[in-house]
Amino acid sequence: MSDTIPAPFLKMNGLGNEIIVADMRGRADRVTAAAAIALNADPVTKFDQVMAVHDARTPGTAYYIEIVNSDGSRAQACGNGMRCVTQALANETGQSRFTFETVAGILFGEAEGDGQITVDMGRPRFGWDEIPLAEAFADTTGIELQIGPIDAPVLHTPSVASMGNPHATFWVKDDVWSYALDRFGPMLENHPIFPERANISIALVMSRDHIVLRTWERGAGLTRACGTAACAALVNAARTGRTSRKATVTLPGGDLVIEWRADDHVLLTGPTEHEFAGQFDPVTGSWTRATEDAA
């Protein structure tokens, strides 16, 4: 048992990317790895990321967001999670635009009038030491990495980038569902070339403005939608000449619109969904459903 005062939370999702928005404002404690693992073990609260909303630490920002993966590890960025946070705070405050601080830097979220949520994810980074990689590559549009036989690899030569977290995008010419990402994902996520592990995506370019994507998410596994992976896929596709700088990215959970603006910022736009509210213990992960959401 824990004597910790429970914290409110919302269970939400962004295109099936399961998110817990935890209200940690006015508190000095953090969501522990044990709490995250316990919440993820419960089929009702199973999630991809906890987005812990803390009081602002830096002048000019509204909140500090700490991100915890389902395996208890910390993440630097989560695009769909930031969209859920933006929607939750917009519903609470009546405001439409917010400035957030994360480990990855300052991000902006905006609730659009049509129910869509846009997050400015900042600038992508392509330097091998910024992603980071374990060894130097002068060109990160395609690095030496493959799965399968040397003379007939199943996946090879991914484009790599950072959207605040490391991403590898493998380009394929057939159905993204024909690849055993549940088998390849863990091996590639933990490959020695990625000292901080990496998000692994399989991308099929359908046209200049349409990409189909599946992602194995670092610290979470197979996911129905990964916002930063969609951003990385678009910028990697654009810089290799595969697409324009704005495209729809179709994920298992639905569509996101990604735009890599001329000022180098990447915008992520899509819907969110509220599932239920509750309270939880940030130390142990024990939780109860809010009375008005009880079922």
* 84 counts as catalytic: no
Single-letter code of the amino acid located at 216: W
Task: Return the number of other C-beta atoms located less than 10 Å from residue 44's C-beta.
Answer: 12
* 231 counts as catalytic: no
Say which residue the tokens 């290799």 belong to: 240
Of the listed 65, 67, 78, 205, which one is catalytic?
78
Of the listed 226, 229, 232, 256, which one is catalytic?
226
Kindly list the catalytic residues.
Answer: 78, 226
